[in-house]
Amino acid sequence: MRKGNSTVTCGVDIGARSIEVVLLQNQEILSSLIEDTGTAPSENGETAFRNALEAVNLNPSDVSSIVSTGYGRNYFKPAHRSVSEILCHARGVSAIFPTARTVVDIGGQDSKLIELDENGRPIDFVMNDRCAAGTGKFIEMTGSVLGIPVLEMNDIISPEDGRVDISSMCAVFAESEIVGLLHRGCEVSAILNGIFHAVAKRTVSMAGRTQIVRDIVFTGGVAKIAGVRSAFAKEAGFQVLVPPEPQITGALGAAIIAAERCEPALSINSIGNGGKLD
Amino acid sequence: MIKRLTQSELREMWTGLGMNLELHDQLLESNNRIFKKTHLWQKKRPAAMALFDRALHDSHGQRVAEILDYRNNGGKSVGTFCIYVPDEIALAASVLAIPLCGGSGWSVDYADKMLPRDICPLVRSTFGMALSGTCPYKTLKEHPLGETTCDAKKKTWDLFGIPSMEVPQKKNKEDKVLWISEVKKFTGDMEKISGVKVTADNLRESIKKCNQKRAVLQKISEYRKLRKPPISGLDALLVSQVALNMDIDNFINAGNELIAELATRADKGISAYDKDGVRVLFAGTPSPMGYAKVHWAAETSGLQVVADESCTGIRYYRDQVPEDLDTVDEMVEAIAERYFKIDCPCFSPNTERFDNISNVIEEFHAEAVIHNILQFCHGFNVEAGALDGMLKDNGIPSLKIVCDYSEEDGEQIKVRMEAFREIIESNRNQEAE
Ligand code: SF4
Ligand code: SF4
């Protein structure tokens, strides 16, 4: 669905685990995709970029501006500019939820908390230290002790399930803690619930003394796990908003920033004024 | 001056010192690679930095040969681990004080033999080198001297049987009395080691010499106040790092050469940076020789480190000792007072540090603060909370980076630096609107 000849911009988010591409035109998402980063981030980034273009029958030359973000941002050759993921996530999230004041992004390998002002501009942020605690990696590692792949977690657990607390924040210690719980005969779903709460708790504590202000928007691959969403809402004491596709907000923000370079200020309304309230 | 040793002479010397050559090669390889990455990307370095690059390179080679030569001619030396040990007094007694703090991530794991994993990397790196046979100074400093600052260090002295000076934990009158008596005791110890009496004359001379060295460092840092700093934060850090290792006269000469070049650059408006950036103060734990990760991450992300508040910065060279005193007692007391002004978080409370930081921010026109804390350094880490509060009240953005010496998190730290810069720049634009 190639629309008119108005400019197309692109945002590419090359993360440690996944690559997201968003093509934007007329303040609408033309196409978006998510692929694995694999072992060759810059090549796979370029392939993902081409794939996103092909999906809507476009050529690289049709794209007027490309912004890269994420860990691989400086190695993505087609980009005109690279911008940190903090700014991109902030921009992407506030385009979808103009009322957002806190962004909680939990990805495969890191987690961050971004504080926004009333205009959606980031004013402060915290990121986890080099450690799996509180990230998707923690869920993946502990989940594997239970024999549950991340993608199946939504099917296993329901809000009524009980919960046992996981006290270790360290993924390695948590693994042995879970083995112990299994030996004691604890329910798998209760343990999983405990894992989700451990991640949520860790993320909330990352804020330190800064208050978490509403609205809170939860993004990143981990936001797709319903159990973590509700655990987070409980730990933070607030409901959280989740975009329809929580993994692409960084790439979306990058595409918006790319558009701002060639067009006057943009307010995205048609991208979706929704997502679901959890 | 002794002649420059060739590569094979150096290896012979290392073998003679009982070092593990194979591991030492690995250490040098790691240091060189890191130095290339952190420093040599800069396009507008002052030419005189070559002197300091060389000094860094020489720290395990030619400098060791110099000290060995000095020792073979009857000279004495003492190995130190903190800027509390008064150089002036050692120098007056003809004892060479060699600071030994390690900044290499490579050696950290070798400390496992004796030290726990979860303590400060500075302590682990230093003792990791000693334990892996890669510290050329190990056998040279038959008189190591610790100090009772943080717990990690205190207990390490106990473990290795290293004597220490008692640095008080508070700054009240009675604490100062204790400290002065420690400095006096130190004077006697130095005299005992070398057999050289500390006199009013030799002490006055050494005070002048140490003041001169600090004046060189102060002068270099002055140039960083300019809107277009003629020297980068990375290079200024390197100068302070090697200042602790170089022969004092060689350092003063090299420093003066650099100052002359900085003066010309300043006149011509030559900046060490390609473009304008966000001016930041680096605050926190020391960055010993070999470690410049956070400076690198900052300066490759559009931030300009215009001042260092750390022990490899202003804390080391801010205060001078009066040169117009008559008696040894007066001088020793003046020296003790000078060192007592050091605003290390080992003191409780440590309010002077807050005032000093505020002043530095103003004097150096810093817009923001980067707070670097070595992992497991509780003093700096906890103090950072109160410091952040003060900065927030004054509208100064700050970014706290807790890390160790390893390289892996460099990119992750860069992400934070870039985001930090973007936020500051966007605030600026908002204000301009
Ligand atoms: S931080 Fe404190 S203990 Fe460490 S070198 Fe500086 S003054 Fe000494
Ligand atoms: S950095 Fe902190 S923990 Fe490490 S030696 Fe210095 S005061 Fe001690």
Interface of B with A (CB under 8 A): 385, 397, 402-403, 408-409, 411-412, 415-416, 418-419, 422-423, 426-427, 430
**pLDDT band (50, 70, 90) for residue A39:** confident
Q: Which of B302, B335, B315 lies closest to B417 in space, CA to CA?
A: B302
B308 C-alpha vs ligand 2 centroid, how far in Å? 17
Residue A141's pLDDT is: 87
pLDDT on residue A271: 40
CB A106 within 8 A of CB A222: yes
pLDDT digits (tens, 9 = 90+) for B387-421: 999 999 999 999 999 999 999 889 889 999 999 99
Pick from A59, A67, A225, A71: which is nearest to A148 by CA? A225
| DSSP calls for A87-105 | HHHHHHHHHH-TT--EEEE
The answer to whether residues A164 and A135 touch, using CB atoms and an 8 Å cutoff, is no
pLDDT digits (tens, 9 = 90+) for B299-351: 999 999 999 999 999 999 999 999 999 999 999 999 999 999 999 999 999 99
Residue B141's pLDDT is what? 63
Tokens at B108, concatenated: 């950290």
Q: Which of A218, A226, A237 is nearest to A196 (CA)?
A: A226
The whole-number pLDDT of residue A274 equals 35
Q: B103 lies in which domain range?
A: 7-432
In eight-state DSSP terms, residue B274 is S
Is residue B284's pLDDT more than 90? yes
Q: Domains in chain A, ordered, with CATH?
A: 1-97+248-272 (3.30.420.40), 98-242 (3.30.420.40)
Residue A162 in this model has a pLDDT that exceeds 60:
yes
Residues near B113 by beta carbon (within 8 Å), at least 6 away in sequence: B131
- Tell me whether strands B144-147 and B164-165 are parallel, antiparallel or unpaired: parallel
What pLDDT, on a 0 to 100 scale, did the predictor assign at position B279? 98
Taking only the tens place, the pLDDT of each residue in B322-334 is 999 999 999 999 9
pLDDT value of residue A137: 86
Residue B240 has pLDDT above 80, yes or no: yes
Distance CA A129, CA A113 (A): 12
What pLDDT score was predicted for residue A5? 46
Distance CA B54, CA A249 (A): 48
Supply the pLDDT for residue A206.
85
How confident is the model at residue B309, as a pLDDT?
97
* Whether the Cβ atoms of residue A79 and residue A12 lie closer than 8 Å to each other: yes
B401 falls within a domain: yes
Q: What is the pLDDT of residue A273?
A: 34
Find, among B212, B237, B348, B362, the residue nearest to B291 by Cα. Answer: B237
Tokens of B155: 């207990």
pLDDT of residue A130: 66
Q: How far apart are CA A45 and CA A49, in angstroms?
A: 6
Q: Tell whether the model's pLDDT for residue A262 goes beyond 60.
A: no
| Ligand 1 geometric centre to CA of B368 (Å) | 23
Tens digit of each residue's pLDDT (9 = 90 or more) over A193-206: 899 999 998 888 88
List strands edge to edge, sheet with B398-403: B303-308, B278-284, B368-374, B398-403
Under an 8 Å CB criterion, which residues of A touch B? Answer: 71, 83-87, 110, 121-125, 127, 129-130, 209
CB B303 within 8 A of CB B234: no
**B1, part of any domain:** no
pLDDT at residue A207 above 90? no
* Interface contact flag, B423 A85, Cβ < 8 Å: no
Least confident of A67-71, B59-63, B137-141: B137-141
Dist CA B206 CA B215 (whole Å): 14
**Chain B residues whose beta carbon lies within 8 Å of the beta carbon of residue A129:** 402-403, 409
Q: Which residues of A touch B397 (CB under 8 A)?
A: 124
Asked if the structure places residue B44 within a domain, the reply is yes
Whole-complex ipTM: 0.81
Q: What is the pLDDT of residues B229-238, one digit of tens each?
A: 999 999 999 9
Number of domains in chain B: 1
Which one of A14, A116, A124, A257 makes the best mutation probe of the B interface by having the most chain B beta carbons within 10 Å? A124
Minimum mean pLDDT range among A18-27, A234-243, B50-59, B269-278 = A234-243
Is pLDDT at B187 greater than 90 in this prediction?
yes
Contact B419 A209 (CB under 8 A): no
Residue A148: its pLDDT value, please?
87
Provide the sign of the torsion angle of the four alpha carbons A150, A154, A156, A157, taken in this order: positive
The answer to whether A84 contacts B415, with C-beta atoms less than 8 Å apart, is yes
Judged against a pLDDT cut of 80, whether residue B193 lies above it is answered with yes
pTM of the model: 0.90
Asked whether residue A188 carries a pLDDT value surpassing 90, the answer given is: no
Residue owning tokens 């794991």: B109
pLDDT value at position A142?
87
